[in-house]
Amino acid sequence: RIRKRCKGKPNEQVYDSKKADLQELETLAEKGLIDLFYGDESHVSSEGYVPYGWQFPNEKVAVYTEKAYKINIFGLINRANECYWASTQQNIDSPFIVNHLDDLSFKIKKNTFVVLDNSSVHQSMLLQQCLPIWQNRGLFIFFLPTYSPHLNMAETMWRKLKTEWLIPEDYLEKDHLFYAVNRCMANIGSGLNINFSRFNLN
CA dihedral sign of residues 191, 165, 4, 10: negative
Question: Is residue 63 scored above 80 in pLDDT?
Answer: no
Helix axes 94-105, 125-137, angle to 10 degrees: 0
Do residues 34 and 28 make contact, with C-beta atoms less than 8 angstroms apart?
A: yes
For 76-125, the pLDDT digits (tens) are 999 999 999 999 999 999 999 999 999 999 999 999 999 999 999 999 99
pTM for this prediction: 0.86
For residue 1, name the pLDDT band (cuts at 50, 70, 90): very low
φ/ψ region of 68 (left if φ > 0, alpha if ψ in -120 to 50, else beta) reads left
Average pLDDT over residues 183-195: 96
What pLDDT score does 197 carry?
Answer: 79
Question: Is residue 65 scored above 60 in pLDDT?
Answer: no
Question: Is residue 183 scored above 90 in pLDDT?
Answer: yes
Average pLDDT over residues 150-160: 95
Name the β-bridge partners of 83: 77
Average pLDDT over residues 56-66: 68
Question: Is residue 129 scored above 90 in pLDDT?
Answer: yes
